Amino acid sequence: MGESVTIRTGKMGHGKTLNAIKEIDEQAKRENRIVYYHNIDGLQPDKLQAQWYEFENPHLWYELPGNTIIVIDEAQRFFGVRDPRMAVPKYISELETIRHQGQEIVFITQDHRFLDVNIRRLCGSHIHFKRALRSSGLVRYAFMEASDYDKAAVLVNADKTYTKLDKKLFGSYKSASDHHFKLEIPKNSTCLVQYYYWRLI
């Protein structure tokens, strides 16, 4: 099992949703668990390995069955930054005891700072994707808490790996930008070396 509360981030076109689908689908298949999702436009569960079911109201995620994985894309639309003077809503406070039900919840957004502060404080896994040189190559940064990945001192402590956009998942959902990229050969020689490195991995 993964962490109870996970945040996955990345700019538009950097593969955050596609890789979330890929990694969560593999986990759910391996652990024989059901995935419930919200706001993944045009997702085609028949193209995936595990069982994926759409649910309507993201604020009622805690009513879903136990031992399941819950995925919410563009999560800032439903779990955005809250006025600190406001009471903590039930759909946020329930995250404090989510592990008791054996559930895991994954919030996908462009930046973790777009989310409610309590989500960020409860986060036990933060995955950030960055696409390299307008190619299909991606850098995957993993943190043990919500982290400011745009700070060099923070990136030093990240678990850094390399991956690529998985063409097998192209067409498994509607994406405005994740799959549509144009390869560009960098102009200077240093970038050229990096370019061919990414093409080979």
For tokens 């144009």, the residue is 182
Q: What is the CATH number of the domain that holds 53?
A: 3.40.50.300
Per-residue pLDDT, 136: 78
152-176: per-residue pLDDT in tens? 999 999 999 999 888 878 777 777 6
What order of strands is seen across the sheet that includes strand 125-131? 52-54, 35-38, 69-72, 104-109, 5-9, 125-131, 137-143, 159-164
The size of the chain, in residues, is 201
Q: What is the pTM of this model?
A: 0.86
Q: Beta-carbon neighbour count of residue 139 at 10 Å? A: 18
**Domain of residue 85, residue span:** 5-200
51-60: per-residue pLDDT in tens? 999 999 999 9
State how many domains the chain has: 1
